[in-house]
Amino acid sequence: MLKDDDNSNKHFSLALDFSPSYFLCPSIGPFYDSPSSCNCRNNQSAAQFVSNDELEDLQRRRAEEYRQHQIRTGRENDVLVLAPPNTPLQYPIRGFRVNPMTKTLIPGLAVQTQNRDLYKVSLRVQKGLLSVMDEKIVFGQNEGNLTISSSSLDHLNELLSRVTYTSTIFHIKTEDLAYFSFENHEVIFPIEIRRRSVPNLYDPGKDINSQVTVLVKAFLRYKELNALIQSIRVNYPKIKIIVADDSLKPEKVVGDNIEHYIMPPAQGWFAGRNLAVSQVTTKYFLWLDDDFVFLNETRIESFVEVMEAVPELDVVGGQVGRNQFPFKLNYKEGNGEEGGCISRFRGSYAPLPGFKGCFFVDGVVNYFMGRTDAVRKVGFDPFLKKVGHSEFFIDGLGELLVVTCQGLIIGHQKKTYTPNYRKYRHPPKADSENKLTHHYFKNHLKCINY
């Protein structure tokens, strides 16, 4: 329904400080600190927004949710493994993936060394069983610790080529570590336990109408919405338009190939985005505000050209008039008890190869094309009703690959007076305070700096 003022050059900065002490964080720019903590300077404490009798229980619940998040995202498997400087052992460094509880050959195991009277190796794992196919005379067959010995190096390596791993747990995304040793040498390599997923493909069809759906969140401003639709139809008479509308007194939106979804009143901008994206059947969607307007140079095909050429991309942002609003997010995870710090500041990382004027960023203006399946996985937090935009890109940090491109232009209609709109456009102070509490818990943050 309502959003950040992306045309503003002001920086908003608040600390999500829920501990008795006062944390410090800079007013703008990245955070510089130790890996285990982050600091917040010159910011308003958010602890005042939670009563003392609720604070302890809130922190306890947050700690438990964060622990479960670490498990769900596989962070408990983030083990730093250093390769030894020199070893006679050959083993898979990465890329060995197994289906859960499925016997799989371990590729590449071998020993390369000088002559010995006896060659003896051992392997051990924690979440599975090891065996040598078609071989009975080995110690530890079908156990977690396997020992293989032979007086012939060729025979030993032949046995190693038949070593299998079978996980003993069912998990769709986890990891085991294999310890492979020979004499005084030991190496560690990961075994990725992953349930294979089925591709989810979209038929691009033969033209832009089967590739892209236009999405609009509407609230009260029907004059502007109708002007936007008319401007779209000049060059795109058949493209589907989905309107999510939570106006207080909905009006009819008529036209060919328009899906108008009426929501309960004033449910908010992100709830409307979720509704609109949930109804998309095309590979991409183009997000518009209801007071935008297509210009002669507005070309949806230009977005598609970039995304089709670089399949890894999830979001491509354009320009609203002269405004691109490219921004970066600097995130420090902090420690498990206090939470992390995140700051937003203007800028980009690096140019997108092959496309002049396109740059990698963490967030873009409200005019962007999204890859439907990728954006659905991140979603839009419906808690944010009146103020929100950067929050979507915060949720998508590390999940969505985002670029902004110059020249992908759309216009902005002149502001007009709409009854009741201003009241919803500028939320009361209590909404901002509730938003801080929400960020504190949801994003496990100690401070946030816009």
The 3-state secondary structure of 14-37 reads: EECCCCCCCCCCCCCCCCCCCCCC
Give the CATH fold of the 100-194 domain: Immunoglobulin-like (2.60.40)
| Cα–Cα distance for residue pair 296/339, rounded to 1 Å | 48
Q: Is the pLDDT of residue 391 over 50?
A: yes
The reported pLDDT for the residue numbered 95 is 86
Q: Contact, 445 vs 39, CB < 8 A?
A: no
CATH 3.90.550.10 residue ranges in the chain? Answer: 208-449
CATH class of 208-449: alpha beta
Residue 13, pLDDT above cutoff 80: no
What pairs with residue 409 in β-bridges? 319
User: Which part of the chain is CATH 2.60.40?
Assistant: 100-194
| Res. 72: pLDDT tops 90 | no
Does residue 426 have a pLDDT over 60? yes
Once rounded to an integer, what is the mean pLDDT over residues 329-356? Answer: 91
**Residues β-bridged to residue 119:** 150
Task: Please tell me the predicted confidence (pLDDT) of residue 76.
Answer: 58
Question: What residues have CB less than 8 Å from 170, skipping those under 6 apart?
Answer: 100, 101
Query: Average per-residue pLDDT in the chain?
Result: 85
Place 81 in a pLDDT band, splitting at 50, 70 and 90: low
Distance CA 61, CA 72 (A): 17
Region 14-41 average pLDDT: 41
Please say if the pLDDT value at position 321 is more than 70: yes
Task: Decide if pLDDT at 71 tops 90.
Answer: no
Tens digits of residue pLDDT in 141-167: 999 999 999 999 999 999 999 999 999
In this prediction the pTM is 0.81
Helix (H, G, I), strand (E, B) or coil at 60: helix
pLDDT digits (tens, 9 = 90+) for 189-247: 999 999 988 888 888 888 999 999 999 999 989 999 999 999 999 999 999 999 999 99
Q: What is the reported pLDDT for 54?
A: 80
| pLDDT for residue 356 | 95
